[in-house]
Amino acid sequence: VAAFAAPAPTAPLKVLKDVFGFENFRGLQEDVISALMAGEDALVLMPTGGGKSLCYQIPALCREGLGIVVSPLIALMDDQVAALKQLGVKAAALHSELELHERDQLWDDLRNRRLDLLYISPERLLSPGTLDFLRQHRPSLIAIDEAHCVSAWGHEFRPEYRALSCLSDAFPGVPRIALTATADPRTRDDIVASLAMPQARVFTASFHRPNLVLEARPKLSESRQLLEALERYRGEGAAIVYCGSRRRTERLAATLREKGQTALAFHAGLSALEKRAVLHRFRSGEPMTVVATIAFGMGIDRPDVRLVVHVDMPASPEAYYQQIGRAGRDGETAHTLLLYGGEDMARARYWLEQSQAPESEKRVMQGRLENMIALSETTGCRTEAILECFGEKLPENCGHCDNCRQPVPTFDGRVAAQKVLSAVYRTGERFGAVVVTNVLRGKKNEMIERHALDKLSVFGIGADHGENWWRTVIRQLIARGALKMHGDYGALGLDRTTARPLLQGQMPLPLREDVHSALRSKGFRAK
Ligand code: ADP
Ligand code: ZN
């Protein structure tokens, strides 16, 4: 077909107004769309709610041919298709959960070129029949949504995404656009390499979300801290509580219900029907809390999520930021609370150490975990610290994170550190934080007496401070790498290299006084 015979392409701005009803492009949208209209490949990095969808929907409508959108989740596809249909766009989703008659209809529409946009799962797209068909029909563009799923180092890796590297050969000359809300440079490089799109123009929006209020607290009493946060911040909106395990989501949701909260658990172990029921209620807009694993994520676009709590530490700043990014999509203030503990940190390190992953991957994951640990312990502006992980520099402190609102008092922790490290050493590096704390405070119990720990010179050397105070010190020594977990039972040991200078008291050691002050300011007394 001669090029001059093609109808004049519709202008993107006209489609924006006529189809979507918006007056102006936002942020980088116009530049991205221009690149695709010119036939270039693009990688788009924008935070959740940044307006990624229009970046491919509009050029797909403006360019000749069918726009293909690869998406990892059926629920996500169905949502987008429903929204597009309401606007009068001819869109459909091809995935494994279609009824037979729906599938027949869809193929009929495809053959007769009645569709503008086709949402499709990666495995479906790459199945031979579909691939051959679509190749013959020369699509207008291929969008790869949630493109971080291609990265094995990412937190939402999907092996099916790997195979998408063949798209450049299968569809020569068809512009491709990869989109993600995951920002770190490593994932970005991985996407470009894995999708074989080295020529892609990279569009990076600011990840700063000024309406998110970041807060992190040492974990003292999980359910009490959680309830307090829910009461204070959730209002008539929704809250998401992220947990590290399926079992914990069930238990915590039950605890919340006992306290009169509307709370549902969500994790990958639920049946499709159960999952859909939770999503349905969550989307209905009723005030509620979903207690979930990271399986509750992509495609969660309720605008009025007022609070996101992590009761277990996320594996990386990227995962953390993407999860808290689900709060406040309506632009109103939303709160986030990270509850962190020393044992969690030590355990996360330990399991990573034990993991069978290739060395190179392990090192990347370890680096991220360390960043996450540093982020939770930071005494500086949290917003600044997390954006720095993505290579973005805030011109000044955010002014509203916990550390900005209430600067963290620190104290000279040298003597305290010497006492803790000696206690760990003298007790044979066989015990966890609870026993070490009891030894420091000189608290006798059956365990202490059975191991004759009360006969040691370190017994009671820390009687001048309470349990929570010592736990703070232990946690920070773990965070700094002086203490580490060894063995499956949570026993703490010394990291010789890091611990020695601390034991000798050679260098200054400012420690956070957080547990103390946090509790006192709320009228609680540390035991
Ligand atoms: P993302 O996929 O990046 O999370 P979406 O594409 O879902 O974000 O867009 C977030 C919200 O912003 C949607 O409600 C969308 O309709 C709206 N939006 C996107 N672009 C514009 C625009 N140019 N003008 C007004 N609203 C927009
Ligand atoms: Zn701040």
What's the gap in Å between 16 CA and the centre of ligand 1? 11
Question: Which ipTM did the prediction report?
Answer: 0.97
Report pLDDT digits (tens) over 461-493. 999 999 989 998 999 999 888 999 887 777 999
What's the gap in Å between 50 CA and the centre of ligand 1? 6
Ligand nearest to the CA of residue 215, numbered in listed order? 2
Is the pLDDT assigned to residue 519 strictly greater than 60?
Answer: no
pLDDT confidence bin for 9, thresholds 50/70/90: low
E-strand spans in 37-189?
42-45, 67-70, 91-94, 117-120, 141-144, 176-180
pLDDT of residue 520: 40
The per-residue pLDDT of the chain, averaged, comes to 90
Q: Could you tell me if 384 and 398 are in contact, meaning their C-beta atoms sit under 8 angstroms apart?
A: yes
| Ligand 1, atom 17, residue with closest C-alpha | 51
CA distance 234 to 437: 35
Q: Could you tell me if 34 and 9 are in contact, meaning their C-beta atoms sit under 8 angstroms apart?
A: no
**Per the structure block, which two tokens stand in for 518?**
């946090």
pLDDT of residue 524: 35
pLDDT of residue 96: 86
Q: If we measure between CA atoms, which residue out of 403, 434, 391, 278 comes closest to residue 338?
A: 403
- Segment among 2-6, 30-34, 353-357, 490-494 with least mean pLDDT: 2-6
Is the pLDDT assigned to residue 407 strictly greater than 50?
Answer: yes
**Per the structure block, which two tokens stand in for 253?**
């949701």
- Segment among 55-69, 75-89, 221-235 with least mean pLDDT: 75-89
Q: What angle do CA 25, 29, 34 make, to 5 degrees?
A: 105
pLDDT of residue 488: 75
CA distance 31 to 37: 10
Q: Write the burial class of residue 507 (CB in 10 Å: 0-12 exposed, 13-18 middle, 19+ buried).
A: exposed
Q: Could you tell me if 335 and 327 are in contact, meaning their C-beta atoms sit under 8 angstroms apart?
A: yes
CA distance 122 to 163: 8
pLDDT of residue 167: 94
Q: What is the mean pLDDT of residues 504-510?
A: 87
pLDDT of residue 297: 80
By percentage, how much of the chain surpasses pLDDT 90?
A: 70
Q: Give the predicted TM-score (pTM) of the model.
A: 0.79
| Ligand 1, atom 5, residue with closest C-alpha | 51
| Ligand 1, atom 15, residue with closest C-alpha | 51
The single residue listed with the structure tokens 């919340």 is 256
Q: What is the mean pLDDT of residues 2-14?
A: 66
Report pLDDT digits (tens) over 290-329. 999 988 986 677 999 999 999 999 988 988 998 999 999 8
Q: Could you tell me if 157 and 53 are in contact, meaning their C-beta atoms sit under 8 angstroms apart?
A: no
DSSP per residue, 292-308: E-TTS-TT---TTEEEE
Report pLDDT digits (tens) over 141-197. 999 999 999 987 777 788 889 999 999 999 999 999 999 988 778 888 999 999 999
Q: What is the mean pLDDT of residues 202-222?
A: 93
pLDDT of residue 444: 95
The 8-class DSSP code of residue 66 comes to: -
Q: Could you tell me if 292 and 241 are in contact, meaning their C-beta atoms sit under 8 angstroms apart?
A: yes
Q: What is the mean pLDDT of residues 51-78?
A: 93
Q: If we measure between CA atoms, which residue out of 118, 122, 121, 123 comes closest to residue 139?
A: 118
Percentage helix, strand, coil, to 5, in the chain?
45, 15, 40
E-strand spans in 169-318?
176-180, 201-204, 212-218, 238-242, 263-266, 288-292, 305-310
The best mutation among 19, 26, 53 to test binding of ligand 1, ranked by most ligand atoms within 8 Å of the C-beta, falls on 53
What's the gap in Å between 138 CA and the centre of ligand 2? 49
Is the pLDDT assigned to residue 525 strictly greater than 50?
Answer: no
Atom of ligand 1 nearest to the CA of 47: 3
Q: What is the mean pLDDT of residues 251-274?
A: 95
- Segment among 105-109, 291-295, 362-366, 465-469 with least mean pLDDT: 362-366
Pocket residues: Cβ below 6 A from ligand 1: 22, 25-26, 29, 46, 48-54
Report pLDDT digits (tens) over 383-402. 999 998 888 889 899 999 99
What's the gap in Å between 9 CA and the centre of ligand 2? 47
pLDDT confidence bin for 8, thresholds 50/70/90: low
E-strand spans in 55-182?
67-70, 91-94, 117-120, 141-144, 176-180
What's the gap in Å between 335 CA and the centre of ligand 2? 13
Ligand nearest to the CA of residue 382, numbered in listed order? 2
Atom of ligand 1 nearest to the CA of 20: 16
pLDDT confidence bin for 1, thresholds 50/70/90: very low
Is the pLDDT assigned to residue 417 strictly greater than 60?
Answer: yes
Q: How far is CA 101 from the centre of its chain?
A: 38
Ligand nearest to the CA of residue 397, numbered in listed order? 2
CA distance 273 to 286: 20
Is the pLDDT assigned to residue 375 strictly greater than 70?
Answer: yes
Is the pLDDT assigned to residue 337 strictly greater than 50?
Answer: yes
Atom of ligand 1 nearest to the CA of 53: 6
